[in-house]
Chains A and B, each alone.
Chain A
Amino acid sequence: MKVRTKAVAALAATIAAVIAVTGLVAGTGTAAQDQTVVKVALVTDTGGLNDKGFNTLAGAGLKAAQKTLGSKVETRIYITNTDAERTTNLQRAAQAGYQLVVANGVLFTYGPLDTVAPAFSDTKFLGIDVDLNAVKGKPQNIRGVQFREQEAGCLVGNIAALEVKRLAGPDIISAVGANKATAIVRFFAGYQFCAKRANPRVKVITQYANDPTFNDPAKCKATALSQIARGSKVVFQVAGGCGLGAIDAAKQKKVWAIGVDADQGFFGPHVLTSAMKGVQTAQYTASSQALLKLMASGKLKPPAK
């Protein structure tokens, strides 16, 4: 349940956009091509389709796209269970004739995408969280999508700083990250910047819980508790499953918590807000632009059969 979760709602829209556009391409072709189906495959990252985060929502997004666009679209999900399977799955999806293969995760950047994409030049690959500049050789048939986490961080930083101004005592807010992943660094940067801008007297504590797995709530809880002990009145969790510990700590010590990725208000009335909305808008714009560009430049060919 990584920070990337927020990517997923956008992914659904993205895939829908892709398919809509490709559908259009197929539709405007010759009469013979009217019968064609657009084939889109999603290759999940490790953790399985039931990770209740990144992959689950990506799969749901693909299904939603399928539902909206109906029989003109054929979708398939490839589940990745091991490191080596990332390459296998990309390759199988391309071999099976899927025109657009969505690689869901940053680790596809190193190895899987740069070996498979050049071998299947007719297939288009879309990497979620993938920076095309980091892909070796920058193959022409890959596009990467990244997200502006700092914008969402900014929004909640603003709220947190104003809320702490209203409360009695020194103005201290904090944030707990799982590890130094880029997305978390971006969240922190936006959070800090906008908190200071809204309330120059505010002190912002940002800390990493050093949990590479994103899945150890105890670590984030300990980090959050120490921040609260130092006077923090708002704890922003940017740590996926680890961060649930931070939300718990806030509840226990009766301070505000801020959720991340999804609307985490369901954890209780102590959740002030969640860093999600702006991100999704930004992501949607960024990713659909990337895709429209892909459609315009690349020739997303209708399938052979």
Chain B
Amino acid sequence: MSEQAPTPAQRSEPEASTVPARLALYQRAGGIVTPLVTTLIAFLIGGLVVLVLSGKNPLSTYKAIFNGTGLNWLFPWNATCSVRDPGNELCVNATNLQATLIYLTVLILTGLAVAFAFRCGLFNIGGQGQYIVGAVVGFQVGLWFDSMPAAPHILLAFVAAGLAGAFWAGIAGFLKATLGAHEVITTIMLNWIAYWAATYLINGGPLQDPVAEEAGAQVSRDIADSAKLPVIWGVQGLQGLHIGLFVALGALVAYSILVNRTTLGYEVRAVGFNPEAAAYGGISVARNYVLAMAISGAFAGMAGAMAPLGLSFHLTSTSIQTDSYIAFLGIAVALLGRNTAVGIFFAALLFAALQVGTRSANLDPDVFQPELANNLTQLIQGLIVLFVGAELLVLSVWQARKRLPRAGRTAVEP
């Protein structure tokens, strides 16, 4: 009976003691088919909701969303256009694609922030706090050192943002390692500390631009020109695509190497599978908890630095309170991407495209009401996360079912 030959997942399944570890195991068990099916079902149900609730044609809605992502820019071949050319559809497509890729940049990093902790059996919900800390520190470094040349200045800003995120997440890792405080609780608490501390900094605190303060606007000063990320496609300030994308792609490669090809990655995974067994094997569980959280936080911290360094060049109360929510989307990216580098890239691309495609600026109101557009994104995202969760459920039921008859068989059959 070939199905009784234990797969690696089955073999190690009973050993996985922590919930995230089990989660990670089931995740890997399904291969590439389940995330694809999951996504398809989510889109199907999303389409049904569109049809039933708004009476719009789901296919044309999805087509409009796709067009809004700018991905259709890849198909027409006369690709050159000036952003200063109003009403040029091609041009809009180009700027949309830039927006999607910028979103992708941040989502890859926030996805990695969740995925790396997952590999160590930790559930990092603190992406938001790490993102905010990274944003504030990256911004501050960008504001200082205005006499530095661009390249080292940008590097310094990213390193500082990453270290800040690492420190913030490291607190949760340290508390887990020393006191056993659950990282879900501590990271959520750290989120709120970062959220309100940064809000204070921008609202009456030292980072608020004194000129803007007089106008009652919660906004900081602009960073130095040398820290502004160079734009590789589009126009700087008009949300052209900046070099942050390379940082994110580099982080993906680094993640893949770190997890699969280094001693640290091996230890982290070992702890993720089973902390007791890892400890028995001579691996310091406490050290790996701290390191895994810190590395996760570094990814989120760099994600936070993207907007102040590459897009808006300053912080506002909105960028801290609203935009940081993208870190939670990283959980969905990591889940759907199954904590692998390639999976995270495509999951991040999907969510980025969904976000940008349903922006009210991109969806034709005749096709789908802009008031509903963003809700549709959230609905599809929610469904995907739900199905990723449900898929775990299905898998565990499946495995339980496979075990049960076996137990029955040994009892009945001779």
Residues in chain A within 8 A of chain B (CB atoms)? 46, 48-50, 76-79, 81-85, 87-89, 91-97, 106-107, 109-111, 115-116, 119-120, 122-123, 131, 134, 179-185, 212-213, 304
Contacts and interface: CB of A to CB of B under 8 A. Distances in A.
B323 A84 contact: yes
Contact of B217 (A46, A50, A107, A122): A107
B360 A84 contact: no
A122 B214 CA distance: 31
Contacts of B312: 83-84, 87, 111
Given A79-B371, A95-B91, A110-B217, 14 more contacts: A46-B322, A76-B365, A77-B365, A79-B360, A84-B319, A91-B83, A107-B218, A107-B316, A109-B215, A110-B212, A111-B219, A111-B237, A119-B235, A120-B84
Contact of A110 (B102, B204, B314): B314
Interface of B: 83-84, 86-88, 91-92, 95, 99, 102, 199, 203-204, 209, 211-212, 214-219, 222, 235, 237-239, 307, 311-314, 316-319, 321-323, 359-362, 365, 370-371, 373-374
Contacts of B88: 95
Contact of B361 (A46, A92, A123, A182): A92
Contacts of A134: 211-212, 215
Q: What are the nearest 4 A-B pairs in CB distance?
A: A181-B216, A182-B216, A92-B361, A83-B319
B92 A92 contact: yes
B370 A212 contact: no
Contact of A122 (B83, B86, B211, B314): B86
A179 B371 CA distance: 29
Contacts of A97: 86-87
Given A96-B87, A123-B86, A111 B313 contact: yes
A258 B362 CA distance: 42
Contacts of B204: 179-180
21 contacts: A50-B371, A76-B365, A78-B361, A83-B312, A83-B316, A83-B322, A84-B307, A88-B359, A92-B92, A107-B318, A109-B215, A110-B217, A111-B313, A115-B238, A119-B235, A119-B238, A179-B204, A181-B216, A182-B215, A184-B216, A304-B87
Nearest to A81: B374
A81 B374 CA distance: 9
A87 B319 CA distance: 13
Contacts of B318: 46, 82-83, 107
Nearest to B219: A110
A50 B312 CA distance: 25
Contacts of B317: 212
Contacts of B370: 49, 77-79
Contacts of B239: 84, 87-88, 91
A50 B218 CA distance: 22
Contacts of A87: 237-239, 311-312
Given A89-B361, A91-B95, A95-B91, A82 B217 contact: no
Contacts of B91: 95
B218 to A, nearest CB: 6
Contact of B99 (A88, A180, A185): A88
B46 to A, nearest CB: 18
A85 B203 CA distance: 21
Contact of A120 (B86, B199, B216): B86
Interface of B: prevailing SS: loop
B199 A82 contact: no
B199 A81 contact: no
A81 B375 CA distance: 11
A107 B219 contact: yes
Contacts of B321: 213
Nearest to A121: B84
Nearest to A213: B321
Contacts of B92: 92, 95-96
A212 B212 contact: no
A115 B311 CA distance: 11
A212 B322 contact: no
A88 B361 contact: yes
A303 B221 CA distance: 37
Nearest to A98: B86
Nearest to B95: A91
Given A50-B371, A79-B370, A83-B316, A92 B322 contact: no
Contacts of A107: 217-219, 316, 318
Contacts of B365: 76-77
B359 A85 contact: yes
Nearest to A93: B361
Contacts of A106: 215-217
Nearest to A59: B371
Contacts of B322: 46, 81-83
Nearest to A82: B323
| B217, B219, B371: most-surrounded residue (chain A CB, <10 A) | B217
A49 B237 CA distance: 26
Contacts of A131: 215
B403 to A, nearest CB: 46
B360 A119 contact: no
A83 B239 CA distance: 12
Nearest to A111: B312
Contacts of B360: 77-79, 89
A109 B204 CA distance: 18
A181 to B, nearest CB: 4
A115 B361 contact: no
| A92, A106, A109: most-surrounded residue (chain B CB, <10 A) | A92
Contacts of B95: 88, 91-92, 95
Contacts of A96: 86-87, 92
